[in-house]
Amino acid sequence: MANIGFIGLGNMGLPMAINLVKAGHAVTGFDLSSVAKEAAQDAGLSIVNEMIAVTKDAEIVVSMLPNGAIAKSVVQEILPDMADGSLLIDCSTIDVSSAREIHEMAEKSNKLCLDAPVSGGVGGATAGTLTFMVGGSDEAFAKASNALDIMGQKAVHCGDGGSGQGAKICNNMLLGISMIGAGEAFALAEKLGLDRGKLFDVISTSSGSCWSVNTYCPVPDVGPKSPADNNYEPGFAASLMLKDLGLAMEAARDAGASTPLGKHATDIYNQMSELDHGDKDFSAVINLLSKLD
Report the distance separating Cα 35 and Cα 37, nearest Å: 5
Q: Which residue(s) pair with 87 in the sheet?
A: 60, 112
SS3 113: strand
Judge whether 168 counts as a catalytic residue.
Answer: yes
Q: What are phi and psi of 60, to 5 degrees?
A: -135, 135
Burial class (CB in 10 A: 0-12, 13-18, 19+), 31: buried
Q: What are phi and psi of 108, to 5 degrees?
A: -65, -25
Q: Which of 168, 243, 280, 291 is catalytic?
A: 168
CA nearest neighbour of 199 among 178, 179, 213, 181: 213
Residue 169's alpha-carbon distances to 43, 95, 162, 175, in angstroms, are 32, 9, 11, 10
Q: Which residues are identified as catalytic?
A: 168
